[in-house]
Amino acid sequence: MINSNDVNKWLQEVEHPAKGDKNLVELGMVENIEIAEGQVTVTLAFAKHRDPLAEYLIGSAKAAIIRNAPQGTQVEIKSIIKNEAAPKKKGLDLGEEELANVKHIIGIASGKGGVGKSTVSVNLAVALARLGYKVGLADADVYGPSVPKMTATEGLMPDAFQEGEKEIIVPLEKYGVKWMSIGYFARPEQALIWRGPMACNALKQMILQVRWGELDFLLIDMPPGTGDVPLTVFQSLPVNGIVVVTSPQELVSMIVGKAVKMANLMNVPVLSLVENMSYFECPDCKKKISIFGESKIDSVASDFLIDTIAKLPICPEFANLSDKGQIEKFDGDYLNSVVEKILKI
């Protein structure tokens, strides 16, 4: 049987990245721990309204307990605002004020992780910025944020300030693009095992609590998959269209089918399909070799009446530049068709 000392110890694993990495216990944020059979309920106290990291800390506290407690233990994290002792509202009622001067929002989606969604997202952002447009990218992939690494901004902490009731986060600017990522607040080794509403809230914060200012395009690197988390969030945002990234190893027709269904539920068009790792170009003879077999992307696009596709080769240079955070050196030409389509919306 676990006791509150155990829970207290586990909560010491959760550090507040904006407070010198002190943990929840050291910061006096653990207000109460209740243990009943198979159920742990922790109340966290926040000093002011909407700590920009509140959802992250709540998620991490839950994850720390689930990691350590016997399997099947139910965990609930409540939060209160200290001094006021007012229970925090369930869910965030963030408005869309920060999107008021954003002209177009485009989601970048994929069926699963690792197909190159982030590579395509950052490439598109840099390509649009090179053309002189004002661009922001929200890395909303709560399960595997890659923008900090790809932009060599790892370890930086975006500024935050209080404005009335609301805590505002300031995006980082580099390569002419405004960047925001859950990765600035989570350590890479911290497994983000967020589920359902918690992932939804963290995701909303990364979009709605950010001072984007005036933007022609806000690109959103969505969490992989077409499940409830992306759908719930993106149904509530004024998205103008989505770009779907696939790889030839997948059941492309099924993935695109699901993405089209998601886009229909969001009431937006699929602007383009991007097949990543489509072929390998022989450096000597320039012949294109379809390593994973003949591409099906053209026929799938025509089946789903999608008029724009792009194909990106397997290119060790992409991986190298991403690793080094030198994405401004990417060859953006591969995505020209997608950029042109985006400019038409």
Binding site for ligand ADP (CB under 6 A): 110, 113-119, 144, 146, 276-277, 312, 314-315, 318-319, 322
Question: Which residue in the block uniquely carries the two structure tokens 């097949």?
Answer: 275
In 3D, which of 156, 144, 239, 151 has the Cα closest to residue 192? 144
Three-state DSSP class for 306? coil
Residue nearer to ligand ADP on the CB measure, 153 or 276: 276
Count Cα atoms within 13 angstroms, Cβ side, for 162. 7
Write out the two tokens for 227.
Answer: 């499940």
Q: What phi and psi, each to the nearest 5 degrees, are found at residue 337?
A: -65, -35
Three-state DSSP class for 317? helix
Q: How far apart are CA 238 and CA 319, in angstroms?
A: 32
Residue nearer to ligand ADP on the CB measure, 75 or 315: 315
Residue nearer to ligand ADP on the CB measure, 103 or 280: 280
DSSP codes joined into one string, 125-145? HHHHHHTT--EEEEE--TTS-
Question: Cα 59 to chain center, whole Å?
Answer: 15
In 3D, which of 30, 276, 60 has the Cα closest to residue 182? 60
Minimum distance, C-beta of residue 82 to ligand ADP, in the bound complex (Å): 38
Minimum distance, C-beta of residue 308 to ligand ADP, in the bound complex (Å): 18
Minimum distance, C-beta of residue 98 to ligand ADP, in the bound complex (Å): 24
Residue nearer to ligand ADP on the CB measure, 171 or 223: 223
Q: How far apart are CA 336 and CA 59, in angstroms?
A: 39
Minimum distance, C-beta of residue 97 to ligand ADP, in the bound complex (Å): 29
Judge contact between 287 and 281, C-beta under 8 A: yes
Minimum distance, C-beta of residue 243 to ligand ADP, in the bound complex (Å): 12
Return the H-helix or E-strand segment holding 309: strand 309-311
Count Cα atoms within 13 angstroms, Cβ side, for 73. 25
- DSSP code of residue 252: H
Residue nearer to ligand ADP on the CB measure, 118 or 272: 118
Q: How far apart are CA 36 and CA 242, in angstroms?
A: 45
Residue nearer to ligand ADP on the CB measure, 213 or 313: 313
Residue nearer to ligand ADP on the CB measure, 53 or 120: 120
Question: What is the length of the chain?
Answer: 345
Minimum distance, C-beta of residue 42 to ligand ADP, in the bound complex (Å): 32
Minimum distance, C-beta of residue 20 to ligand ADP, in the bound complex (Å): 30
Residue nearer to ligand ADP on the CB measure, 146 or 201: 146
Minimum distance, C-beta of residue 69 to ligand ADP, in the bound complex (Å): 30
